[in-house]
Every structure is written in structure tokens, then in C-alpha cells.
Amino acid sequence: MRDLRRRRPGSRLAFLALLAALFLLFTPFEQGGPNPSMFPKYFAAGASVLALLPLFILTRMRVRVESQLVLVALAMVAFHALVVDPVPFHFVLLVVLNLALAVFLYEASFTWREEFVSALSWLLLVNAAVITLQALLFHLIGGPIVDFHKMIFGSDSRFIEDFLNIARFPGLQVEPGTYANYIGCLAAILMLSSAFSVRFLLMCFMAVMSVFVTNSGSSIYFVPVLIVLLGYLWRSRVRAIHLVVLIAAVLVYMHVSGVMAHLEERFFERDDGSLSHRIEGVHIWMAMSLEEKLIGVGFGADPCVRCHYQDIGMVFNLLTRGGLIVTLAFAVMLGRMVLANGPVLALLLILIPVNEKMFFYETPAWLFFLFAMTPHIRNLSRQVGVAAGAPDKRGRRCSSLHG
């Protein structure tokens, strides 16, 4: 998040374009009224394309192998949605547009890396600041929760001021679980794309704590995953004391907030409707014949009514809806992830989308896949290159080791 005035021509425009698109894609909203509509999804995708138009002109595109694998997966999804189990054509266009946006953002991030990381950082900072302010206002004033999401998008967010003896905060997002899922994904992408620095470490700490402040069930999953991912991904730079401080802050929050007692009552002493519906969705798929599983559920309607099929997880949805042809394409992506970063890191990375409650075509999830398939050693090489190109004591620049 350096001063953009010191960067090369076009950097300010690139930063603003990236920030606008990432804000739209990482802040899903809903249309008000009793009848749900897909209009917000189409609007966000279209508006993101318009925001990124300047970068289409300024950026020389290079389709890397990671992008090629995602485009192959997109082709399989489109084939299934057009031929195997047809859905409306305009919905297929939405899927194509979202995955194309992920590919473009990924490729543009190599040309505009500082601007891309700055946009991610500012978006994370704004979200964390808003949910922190929301929580402080509620606890200091005594309620009600200020609906910042409604101030921007015009529709109510689904916060709860007293749900089994705890308040649930959504920040700028439509609901607490949405914050945990989208900001958790945003933080993981930042970990994969940013060079290491004190500022980067503080941003990661802020992301973890802001996800926990939601008091959602999803936060209990993403908080430990993000901590372990940060520690393993940057094990050569993160010190033990850093992780000790972060874990201590998490434990203190758990004690003060009472979130563990809340979750115990919610999931063990009561029948949590959301979880039971998702389990029902898994059982419905398990009961299908082998032929139905190989063909796939399809990318249209859910296979069951009110079973929260989408909430089971993004990977589950993608593979069960697309059947064998999409599973094979995903297996190649997973193989690339293992080849690029090794089995341990690949396992940690796949834990993010496995529990993401995003639609199978959401741009953030596919943007994460792209960075997860990229060898993380590139970040280390970039840091060495920057250090090698820094001025010496006499003001001369050393030659970069990586060209």
C-alpha cells in the first residue's frame, strides 16, 4: 500500500480498477423484496468488467498454465451446462464471465503486482475496520447493530443481536457467515500473492481476528486454517512469537466473547437447522445411483428442496453438479497444485475452497485456485530480486538474481 504517485504511469488507474472490481466480487449483495433474484450476480460481473476495461488496454495478457487449466475446467462446465444437462444460456454466460474475470485478474496481477496487493490490502482493511466499528458500537452503546451493508446496497443484512446469547456481526457483508467465507478467501489470496513484510503480517493478523468477530460457525473453521496456512506458507519468515501472539489473541477472544459456549449450544445441544439441511443434501447425493453421480446433478436446480446444497461447500457443488468430466478437469488442477507447492501445502490450500459457501462459479474461489496452483517459490524469488536490486551504500543498484 505504498504511495501510488511514486509508481510507474498507469499504476493509480490500475489500482482503482482492481479495487473496484475486487470490491464488487468480494462483497455479494442481494436484491430486496420477498422474491430472490439473480440480478445482483449479473450486475456485479458486468460492473467488474467495466471497471477493468482500462486494464484490458494497459495489460499485455499472457495465458499461463494455471489459467489454461482453469479455462479447461470452464470448458467442461460449459459443455455440461449446454449439452449434458442444459440450463438457460444467459446463466452459462454468467459462469463464463466470472471465470474469465478470475483469469484476467490473475494474469493482470503479474503486470500490476503492487497495485493488486494494495487493492487486496485496502479491501481487507476496510472490511476489518467496518466490522470492528460495528462490534464496538454495539458493545459500547448497547445496540442496536448498525447495518453498514444496508447503507451501501440498500438491502438488510442478516445480523443477529442475540442468537443463543451472542451477537453476530456481518460488517459490510450480507451476513456473518458470508464475511467469514469471503474475507477468509481474500486473506488466503493475499498470503499467496504478497511479499512478506511487517505490514503484510499485521494485515494477516487483522484478517484472522476480524473473521472471528463475526461469531459465525464458519469462523471456527477458517480461523485455524488461516493461522496454520500463514505459519506453514511463510515458515521461513514468520517467527514462533508471531504465531504465539496471534493464537493468544484468538484464545482471549474465545474466552471474553463466549463464542465456544454459543457454538456448543447451537450444534450439540440444539438441532442447528442450517447444518442438518446440509447433511440432508449430502445424503441425497449419496443415495443417487452410480450413473447419476457420473453424469452429475447439473448446474441448474438443487437435487432437493431446502437442503442448503450450496452451503455444503464449493468443491462438493462443483464436482457433484458436473459429474465425471468436471471432476477430471478438477483432478488435473489439484495435481498441478501438488506439483507446484508439494502435498502438505496443497492439502492446506484445498481446505479453503472445500468449506467455502460460495456458488461454484464465484470469481473469488477461482482466483484462489489460480494462486494455489502457482509455485509459492515465485514470491520468495521476487523478494530476493527486490533485495538484489536495492541500492547499496553508495547508491548503486545491484543486479537482480532473477532478471
* DSSP H or E run through 157: none
Q: Among 113-117, 155-159, 277-281, 297-301, whose mean pLDDT is lowest?
A: 277-281
State the Cα–Cα distance between residues 216 and 167, nearest whole angstrom.
Answer: 9
- Residue 32 pLDDT: 66
Average pLDDT over residues 61-69: 93
- In the DSSP assignment, the letter for residue 266 is I
Side chain identity, residue 306: R
Identify the band that residue 209 occupies on the pLDDT scale cut at 50, 70 and 90.
very high
- Residue 37 predicted with pLDDT over 50: yes
DSSP state of 35: S
- pLDDT per position as a tens digit, 235-251: 988 889 999 999 999 99
- E-strand spans in 308-358? none
Q: Which is more confident, 57 or 128?
A: 128
Q: What pLDDT is recorded for position 397?
A: 37
Cell of 92: 452459462
Three state DSSP letters for 201-231: HHHHHHHHHHHHHCCCHHHHHHHHHHHHHHH
The predicted pLDDT at position 256 comes to: 85
Identify the pLDDT of residue 33: 61
Q: How does pLDDT run across 112-127, given as a tens digit for each residue?
A: 999 999 999 999 999 9
Q: Are 209 and 223 in contact (CB under 8 A)?
A: no
- Concatenate the DSSP letters of all residues of 71-109 into one string: HHHHHHHHHIIIIIS---HHHHHHHHHHHHHHHHHHHHH
The pair phi, psi for residue 391, each rounded to 5°, is -65, 145
Among the listed residues 98, 14, 110, 114, the one whose alpha carbon sits nearest the alpha carbon of residue 49: 98
pLDDT value at residue 388: 41
Share the mean pLDDT of the chain: 87
Share of the chain above pLDDT 70, in %: 88
> Exposed/middle/buried for 10, CB within 10 Å: 0-12, 13-18, 19+?
middle
Of 309 and 27, which is predicted with more confidence?
27
Mean pLDDT of 57-68: 90
**pLDDT at position 141, please?**
86
Short-list 154, 160, 253, CA closest to 213: 253
What whole-number percentage of the chain has pLDDT above 90? 67
Residue/partner pairs of 371-374 with CB below 8 Å, 24 or more apart: 371/106, 371/189, 371/192, 371/193, 372/192, 372/337, 372/341, 372/346, 373/65, 373/66, 373/69, 373/333, 373/336, 373/337, 373/340, 374/66, 374/192, 374/340
Average pLDDT over residues 20-27: 97
Q: What is the band of 46 on the pLDDT scale with cuts at 50, 70, 90?
A: very high
pLDDT band of residue 159 (cuts 50, 70, 90) is confident
Would you give the DSSP letter of residue 160?
B
* 3-state class (DSSP) for residue 168: strand
pLDDT digits (tens, 9 = 90+) for 370-403: 999 999 865 555 554 444 444 443 343 333 222 2
Weakest-pLDDT range from 42-56, 84-98, 245-259: 245-259
Residue corresponding to grid cell 463475526:
214
Instruction: Give the residue-averaged pLDDT of 1-12.
Output: 62
Label residue 276 by pLDDT band (50, 70, 90). confident
pLDDT at 280: 86
Q: Angle at which helices 65-79 and 363-372 pack, to 10 degrees?
A: 140
C-alpha–C-alpha distance, residues 269 and 185, integer Å? 30
Q: Is the pLDDT of residue 294 over 70?
A: yes
What is the average per-residue pLDDT within 333-345? 96
Whether residue 59 has pLDDT greater than 60 = yes
State the average pLDDT over residues 329-346: 96
Domain ranges of the chain: 4-382
What is the mean pLDDT of the segment spanning 85-109? 96
pLDDT of residue 380: 54
pTM: 0.90
pLDDT over threshold 90, residue 48: yes
- The Cα–Cα gap between 159 and 173 comes to 10
